[in-house]
Structure 1
Amino acid sequence: MVSTLLHGATLLTVDAENRVIEDGWVAIRDGRISGVGPKAAIPEAALFDEVVDLAGHLVMPGLVNAHTHSAMVLFRGRSEGQSLLTMEGWYNSIREPELSLIASDIGPAVKLSCAEMVLSGTTTFCDQYFFAEEIAEAVSQAGIRAVIAYGIVQLGDEERGAEELAKASAFIEQQRSADGRIVPWFGPHAPYVDNSENLLRAEVAVAMKYGVGMHLHMAAGPEDNEETLKRYGLTATQALDRDGFFNGRVHAAHCLDLSDEDIAIFAKSPAASVAYCATAGLRSGREGICPAVKLREAGVVVGLGTDNVAANNSYDMVAEMRVAGLVASHREGVAQPISSRELVRMATIEGARALGLDHEIGSLEAGKAADIIAIDLSGPGYSETPDIETVLVYSGSGRDVRHVWVSGERLVADRKLLRQDYAEIRAQYSSTYEAFWDRVAKARKVA
């Protein structure tokens, strides 16, 4: 594998000391970071196969998108006027046309999503959807890193639930990638809303058997708690806790309507985390806002996610940091209750921690996988500053990412994909998009 020396950049390490190193360097060997430091301690260039001068750039760990559904790029712009965090809005905008999806739709859609993500600095994402095998194949071809949760939607059909659980188990057994870039999980779509109690208990048992995480939507609106409050006088979070759901790794998206008691359950769990999807929450029209400040104060790990691009329309995690900070200020009624530095950590090391990958990615430290991005600071908005995190969060854009490495492999150089041709990806996607929506239209005529 090529050894690489990156030098001349401002380094945002996101390590335990949050070091910012001016005119710093990062050394990469065998896909891992072998050293990080200031110019005074730079190793000899002759010791490396490749030397990259990144003067005028910010070099930092790759961004972690803690919640999305990559195949749903097919639904971009299709949910205007609909709240995807309600059963009605989700079913009408998403679930009904999803019934026309076929396996061959997935690869082109996921490849486009991976291209959009990596070109804007995301090197790891957490996905939950159907056709998990096809998603894994497309992600593998793209070279990006992903936790892929096999999406399970039961909707009252016990036989379907059992079949999906068996398929999810097979996916777990088959998809652990040798290079560690793909990590398989379970993905019960939403507790009690579209996964029954019996199925949820079975999912917990199987997840514990395989030692994998579960990624689900939780507390996205009042109806999430209606069934459990009626039956047990408990919120869905409390009912899941009663059934042992929080004994393993649980990664919950949205969490707009958590009570203080619910937050306490997350806090006491050995490996519970939340994906704060601020933009998707705002666009949903829901009054609730994820209590990210309270969760963090309670010690809960909180990452940042875009959700799907029907709910968000963008994979730009730099923009997501900005919205997350603004929404937290609005919710708490105080200026910047989550600092820019903390927002950067939520989009990197905290997202990695939520996925159980913080030993591997999320910071620029020797021994970690070389998942690294370089952002061009020469353009408008990046004037001189004593606080690079604030400039990045509130002035920056994922479109300023120029170079990307994953496990030391260069996937983006000067904003061009190196593994695959973007024009080809886009052309394949456009053909798939047209065929899919023609299929949906025909199905609606028949209905």
Structure 2
Amino acid sequence: MDSHPCDLVIEAGWVIPVEPHGVALESHAVAVDDGRILAVLPIAEARARYAPRQRVELPDSALLPGFVNAHTHNPMTLLRGVADDLPLMQWLTGHIWPIEAAVLGPRFCADGAELAVVEMLRGGTTCCNENYFFPDAIGAVYARLGFRCRLGLPVIEFPTPWARTRDEYFEKAQEVHDGFIGHARVSTAFAPHAPYTVSDAGFERIRMLSDQLDLPVHCHVHETAQEVEDSLREHGQRPLARLQRLGLVNRHLIAVHMTQLTEAEIALCAEQGVSVVHCPESNLKLASGFSPVEALRRAGVNLALGTDGCASNNDLDMIGEMRTAALLAKAVAQDAAALDAASVLRMATLDAARALDLDTRIGSIEPGKQADLAAIRLDDPETQPLYDPIAQVVYAAGRHQVHWVWIDGEARLRERGLVGMDVAGVLARAREWRERIARLPRAS
């Protein structure tokens, strides 16, 4: 049989495709050409069928889809640790918003996003759902670095350095959206901050444009009990009910946090095709509440996983986030079988891609999809002995064991070394921002 030329064959001890669910294929290979997955097959068959320009042999590693961080504010890497151990509103109003008022601009956002890409790639993340200001500057960084992103178009009712009026937010959103139409790796979504910072008129305009442009709507919803109480007092409705009244509870909605939910609200999300993004470590650190993840999963709601921003997590570690999500779900449900390892891995890959409306392109290792892949070493003492590769990745592995990452079949991390990135320059700029921010007056 003649061998077919292709760009790349990756041979792994285990290929964890995510789809089919819960499967780990031992001694398998993934063939890649022109950025896409050609085949997933046993190593012996791959060697007989394909003549790759590059072959990567990883006999002690698990090969997975790259992680999809479904909610993050990546420029906030530059605020990592700036205001720890505070409740959400004190954290926001007393520290984060005043600091942002002093430093927020395109350079801050670009430098923070580049630091985030370094961290994400080193942890196996190949795609993120970004939600921050100056999306033009952030998107330019992702485009330059070849990182995949669903780029948030921010809308909020008060002035910021990005925009001063509601009309200006929408005008700039349209400009940024138009600038990335057809881009191979950067696409857009509306990113209204939250029900408590966006008016009915703002949400109605978002709904109309979301329908016209077929764009997701990425929004913090039901993050805290206080948010729900305030909405009842000001609007006579819980936030999700208000969004439903305004026509936003549908397949476009990416509802982040969702710690305060009734059975009826869970059923509504399932019926309307809403995706819920769980950010367990941020919720725990800010004491925002516990999302009923297992109840959402059993109801059939599409569940994704996100880290939130580094100012409230304080990292972009999707492996650690999976472990926390699985353990917390068991405690909240009082059921040791809740959110098993294969399901939380799906939240961090295919179901996160589905939330971003990218699941036909990424999120699983299937022929025809883009080759966004991550390899995790499992031969370290911390992950031996090995009985179940999926459980080992979720419950025992660390992001330091990620040693290869590809986006569109292009190596972005090679044996722990980042490809084509000036890490020293990224760190130098981070230190410069630290010195500037440390000199700012701080709330007591």
Q: Please confirm whether the aligned pair reaches a TM-score higher than 0.5, indicating the same fold.
A: yes
The alpha carbon displacement at 1:248 in A equals 4.7
Please give the secondary structure, in 2, of the residue aligned with 1:302: strand
Question: Does the CA contact (< 8 Å) of 1:64 and 1:122 recur in 2?
Answer: yes
Partners in 1 of 2:134 and 2:235 — Cα distance?
34
Q: Deviations over 1:279-328 (max 9, x none)?
A: 01111123x20111111111111111110011101111010000001111
Contact 2:281 2:313 in 1 (8 A): yes
Query: Does structure 1 residue 285 correspond to structure 2 residue 290?
Result: no
CA distance in 2, matches of 1:52, 1:247: 43
On the 8 A contact 2:307/2:315 being kept in 1, the answer is yes
1:235 corresponds to which of 222, 238, 241: 238
Report the Cα offset of residue 437 of structure 1. Answer: 4.5
AA of the residue aligned to 2:377: D
Q: Letter of the aligned partner of 1:275 in structure 2?
A: V
RMSD of aligned alpha carbons: 2.0
- TM-score by structure 2 length? 0.94
User: Hey, what's the Cα distance between the residues in 1 that align with 2:341 and 2:50?
Assistant: 38
Equivalent-residue separation in structure 2 for 1:437 and 1:169 (angstroms)? 35
- Alignment correspondent of 2:26: 22
Aligned equivalent of 1:424: 425
Per-residue deviation, 1:430: 1.9
Amino acid in structure 2 at the alignment position of 1:363:
S
Q: Between 314-323 and 246-255, report the one with greater CA deviation.
A: 246-255
Any gaps of 5 or more consecutive residues in structure 2? none
Alignment map for 1:284-363 (pairs within 5 Å): 284-286=286-288, 288-363=289-364
Residues 17 and 229 of structure 1, relative CA distance in 2, 3 Å threshold: closer
2:436 aligned partner, one-letter code: A
Amino acid aligned to 2:330: S
Q: 1:197 to 1:28 in 2, by over 3 A?
A: same
SS of residue in 2 equivalent to 1:170: helix
Matched ranges for 1:229-268 at <5 A: 229-268=232-271
8 Å Cα contact 2:350-2:363 kept in structure 1: yes
Report the identity percentage. Answer: 30
Q: Tell me, what secondary structure is at the counterpart of 2:323?
A: helix
Q: How does 1:196-235 map to 2 (within 5 A)?
A: 196-235=199-238
Could you tell me how far 1:68 is from its partner in structure 2?
Answer: 0.6
Aligned match for 2:58, one of 51, 54, 57: 54
List per-residue Cα deviations over 1:188-207 (Å, max 9, x = no partner): 0001x111111111111122
Distance 2:267 2:189 in 1: 25
Q: What corresponds to 1:164 in structure 2? A: 169
Give the distance between the partners of 1:247 and 1:15, measured in 2 at CA: 25
Quick one: structure 1 residues 39 and 371, their matched pair in 2 at CA, closer, same or farther if it must change by over 3 Å?
Answer: same
**What is the alpha-carbon distance in structure 2 between the residues aligned to residue 108 and residue 364 of structure 1?**
32
Counterpart for residue 144 of structure 1:
147
> Are the structure 2 counterparts of residues 376 and 206 from structure 1 closer, same or farther at C-alpha, using a change threshold of 3 Å?
same
Pairwise mapping of residues 30-69 of structure 1 onto structure 2 (< 5 A)?
30-44=34-48, 47-69=51-73
Number of aligned residue pairs: 436
What are the superposed Cα offsets for residues 52-96 of structure 1, whole Å, 9 maximum, x if unpaired? Answer: 111111111101111110000111101212123xx3321112111
Alignment check: 8 A CA contact 1:65 1:122 kept: yes
Question: Would the aligned equivalents of 1:73 and 1:109 in 2 still touch at CA under 8 Å?
Answer: yes
- CA distance in 2: counterparts of 1:289 and 1:363, whole angstroms: 28
Secondary structure in 2 matching 1:285: coil
Deviation by residue 1:167-191 (Cα, 9 ceiling, x = unmatched): 1122112123531x11111100001
Distance 2:429 2:406 in 1: 25
Note the C-alpha offset of 1:138.
1.1
**SS at structure 2 position matched to 1:412:** strand
* Residue 128 of structure 1 pairs with residue 137 of structure 2: no
Matched AA of 1:160: T
The CA distance in 1 between the partners of 2:229 and 2:30, in whole Å, is 52
Instruction: Give the Å deviation of 1:227.
Output: 4.2
TM-score, scaled to structure 1:
0.93
2: CA distance, partners of 1:358 / 1:314: 25
Are 2:38 and 2:367, in contact at CA under 8 Å, matched by a contact in 1? yes
Consecutive unaligned residues of structure 1, counting only runs of 5 or more, are none
- 1:187-237 deviations in whole A, cap 9, x for unaligned? 00001x111111111111122121101101010112322344235542110
Partner of 2:75: 71
Q: Which residue of 2 aligns with 1:415?
A: 416
2:350–2:359: 8 Å Cα contact kept in structure 1? Answer: yes
Q: Could you tell me which residue of structure 2 aligns to residue 390 of structure 1?
A: 391
For residues 21 and 200 of structure 2, the distance between their equivalents in structure 1, rounded to whole angstroms, comes to 44
Superposed structure 1 runs of 4+ greater than 6 Å apart: 156-159
Q: Given the alignment, which residue of 189, 192, 210 partners 1:185? A: 189
Q: Are 2:35 and 2:410, in contact at CA under 8 Å, matched by a contact in 1?
A: yes
Shift in CA distance, 17/128, structure 1 to aligned 2, threshold 3 Å: closer
Could you tell me how far apart the structure 1 residues matched to 2:120 and 2:244 are?
34
> Alpha carbons of 1:212 and 1:413: their partners in 2 closer, same or farther (altered >3 Å)?
same
- Structure 1 counterpart of 2:87: 83
In structure 2, the CA distance between the partners of 1:403 and 1:43, relative to structure 1 (3 Å rule), is same
